[in-house]
Each structure stands twice: as structure tokens, then as C-alpha cells.
Amino acid sequence: MRSVTILGATGSIGTSTLDLIERAPDRFRVEALTAHSDVAGLAAAARRTGARIAVIGDAARLPALREALAGSDTEAAGGAEAIVEAAARGADWTMAAIVGLAGLRPVMAALAAGATVALANKEALVSAGEIMIAAARDAGARLLPVDSEHNAVFQCYEPDPARIARIILTASGGPFRRASLEEMRGVTPAQAVKHPNWSMGAKISVDSATMMNKGLELIEAFHLFPVGADRLDVLVHPQSVVHSMVEYVDGSTLAQLGTPDMRTPIAHTLAWPQRMETPSARLDLAAIGRLEFEAADEVRFPALRLARAALRAGGARPAVLNAANESAVAAFLAGRIGFLDIAAIVEEVLAHYEPDAPTCLADVLAIDAEARLHAERRMERVTA
């Protein structure tokens, strides 16, 4: 049996992973499950799977978790350090699905344990790409991409960059693909989190609406697939059937297609190098009838332009971009700033905060903290 740890077990990716594992109980043994604050969801998942340990990030909720697990064989723990310790327990396969840079230290701990890490936390790789890739290499760990776009590339990718002309990440365009800037000015959080194709958490849904998500994915792809920034491209594909493509120098283009269900890429990493059956709906191209593609509009969606610039600049720029965006998205969801303010605040922070390139995990965390302070100061001006 393969031992499994799920970091972020009660979120969208975590629950999809649990669904697959619980369908194949003879193949997987759950080592650890973590969640930020959902005690009931975490305890229920731990009881169903017989997890050895369950960790709640909010330490104040540890007594409630212990009570919810009373009578079971699952150990309970709480706090950020306990999550890092859970990640370091050495499971054969770890799902890294904690949203935001909060997932960076647990991911690094899982990589240091030297096993397979299925990465659904793009913010960690965006902010600490070179450091993470080096940590995986030094520990002999395997990093497998879970994001549907990067997993699609992984399935089509021949590991010889000289053969590859382009990697093309597809984007749905989000809920405001056809909206004008004036229309987007009045967008509410409730409207922004209604993705047309995918069921996702609030933060990633807003990132998809601004297209920052695709910008972050460009940076992520840069670290996962060493073809260089100039051979990474984005194509809007509103049906979300073609998840990404790899174009080769001979003119061939390979694409991975499927219905928009995250259980497909999760299962690919969970069973890799084999494959496993999933309950995902099968693709019916005749019923779909047509597939549409269009260029991304970086005027109406400046977040994509900002991410491209951060990727080309390198150094600390991606970490600053990510931190400012996380802060701005949180403020938007809280009703403090408008939808168009998100990219504007990120651009201002990038213009005024230029730290040296990080060389270690501590540097990344320090840059992140300082960039959030810069973002907060600019948001105070917006709301003044």
C-alpha cells in the first residue's frame, strides 16, 4: 500500500483527493491530514480513512479536534509547526494543496523527506521556484504537477527542451471574458467566485477572474518545464476541454483533453507512473461540437502582463507579485477594495518594492511579509 498525506484536506483539491483514495482503500493508507480551521471536516475525513494523525492549523481549535476524534485511533495536533511536522513524516505521496504561501514551509518539509509531492500549491513554486526545485533535487524527491494545465503539459512533454517549440497553457477566460473594463469595475466578490467551468476555492476563483491565475501558472511552468520564458504562451479556451498543449519543432502539437474535473490530474499523480480509474465524466466531443480559442487580452486583464514581466525579471519579482496579489485578493473578498484595484495594487507594489533575489526559504518569507506591508499601505489609500 502507498502511504498518503494530504496537506489541505478539506479544500477543493483535498476533498477530491480523498474521494479517489476512499474509492481504492486497498491501495492507499492515510498517514496525515491537515486543515486550517475546518475541525468537523478534518475529523470526519480522519475517521473515514483511519488517518494516523490529523492537524488543525488554527491551534485554538485543537481541543475541539481532540473532542471530535475521541475514541478513534487518530492522533490530533494543532498549529503551523504541527502541519510542517506532519508534512515531514515521510509519506510515499503527499498532496500539497494548502492555498497561498502558507503552504511553502510544509511543501519544503515534504520535499526534504525525499518522496513524491503532488503540487497543487502554485504560490509556493512561484515565490520560491529555484529554491524548491533545488530542494527536490537534493533530497531525491519527485515533484508532480496537479494543476490541470501543468499536469496536461506533463502528460504531453518529452524531456528534451531542444525538441519543444512552445508550451501553451489554456485559460477559460473566467467569468468576465467578454466584460468591459467599466463592467468589471462594479464586480462583486460573489460574482467573481462563480467560475463558469471549475469548482474551486474563493482565492483561486478570483485569480481566474483577473487572469492572475494564468500568470502564476506561467511562472510555475517556467520552473517545472525548462524551456525558457520565451517559449511559454497562453491561449484562451472557454470550454476548458483542452487543458494545455506542447508544440514541437517538427510542427506537431500534442494536447491533453478531458472534462473539467480535478480528479483526473489528481489521479494521474496519485497512480503515476500507472493510471487509475476515476468517476470523472468521459469526454463527448460530438456533444460538445466545437472548441474555441482566442488570444489573451492583457489590456482588460493586466494581471497577466504583470506576471509575464515578473517572470522575465526573475529574482524576487515573482515572490513580490504573489504576495501583493494574495493581499489584494483577500481585501477584495472582504469588500475593502474593488475588482480592478487588485491588479492596480499589485502593479504599484512591484513598482515600489525591489528586494534582492532570495537565496533561502527565510529570504522568501521575509520578502513575502514586506510585500504584504507595501500592499496594505496602498490599499489604505484606496479605501481612505
For the segment 199-255, what is each residue's pLDDT rounded down to a tens digit? 778 898 999 999 999 999 999 999 999 999 999 999 999 999 999 999 999 999 999
Question: What is the reported pLDDT for 200?
Answer: 77
Q: Residue 354, annotated ligand binder?
A: no
> What integer is the mean pLDDT of 67-94?
97
Does 149 show up as a binding residue in the annotation?
yes
Please give the mean pLDDT across all residues of the chain: 95
pLDDT digits (tens, 9 = 90+) for 245-290: 999 999 999 999 999 999 999 999 999 999 999 999 999 999 999 9
Q: What is the pLDDT of residue 64?
A: 98
User: What is the average per-residue pLDDT within 323-348?
Assistant: 96
- Quick one: what percent of the chain has pLDDT higher than 70? 99
Going by their DSSP bridges, the two strands 28-35 and 53-56 should be labelled as parallel
Give the pLDDT confidence score for residue 149 in this predicted structure: 96
| pLDDT (mean) for 72-89 | 97
The DSSP bridge partners found for residue 96 are 7, 119
Answer yes or no: is 21 a known binding residue: no
Is 12 flagged in the annotation as binding? Answer: yes
138/116 Cα distance (integer angstroms): 13
User: Where does 2-146 sit in CATH, by number?
Assistant: 3.40.50.720
Secondary structure (H, E, C), 278-326 = CCCCCCCHHHHCCCCCEECCCCCCHHHHHHHHHHHHCCCHHHHHHHHHH
Neighbours of 174 (CB within 10 A): 25
Q: Give first-to-last CA distance, the chain, whole Å.
A: 57
How does pLDDT run across 147-194, given as a tens digit for each residue?
999 999 999 999 899 999 999 999 999 899 999 999 999 999 999 998
Q: Is 292 annotated as a binding residue?
A: no
What does the DSSP assignment read for 320-370? HHHHHHHHHHHHHHTTSS-TTHHHHHHHHHHHH--PPPP-SHHHHHHHHHH
Residue 11, marked binder: yes
pLDDT at 35: 98
**What is the arithmetic mean of pLDDT over 25-43?**
97
**H or E element that contains 132:** helix 122-139
Given a cut of 90, whether residue 382 has pLDDT beyond it is no
Q: How many residues does the chain have?
A: 384
- Residue 197 binned pLDDT confidence (cut-offs 50, 70, 90): confident
pLDDT of residue 159: 87
Does 10 carry a binding-site annotation? yes
Any known ligand binding at 172?
yes
Tell how strand 232-236 and strand 294-295 pair up: antiparallel
Is residue 347 marked as binding? no
Q: Please tell me the predicted confidence (pLDDT) of residue 72.
A: 97
- Residue range 12-35: average pLDDT? 97
Peptide bond connecting 265 to the previous residue in cis, omega within 30 degrees of 0: no
pLDDT tier, 384 (very low <50, low <70, confident <90, very high otherwise): low
Mean pLDDT of 314-343: 96
pLDDT tens-digit series, residues 351-371: 999 999 999 999 999 999 999
Q: What is the mean pLDDT of residues 56-77?
A: 98
Q: Would you list the domain boundaries of the chain?
A: 2-146
Q: Do the annotations mark residue 123 as ligand-binding? A: yes
229 secondary structure, DSSP code: G
217 is in an annotated binding site: yes
Confidence tier at 381 by pLDDT (50, 70, 90): confident
195 is in an annotated binding site: yes
Is 129 marked as a binding-site residue? Answer: no
Instruction: Give the pLDDT score at 318.
Output: 98
Which residues on neighbouring strands pair with residue 232, listed in sequence order?
A: 167
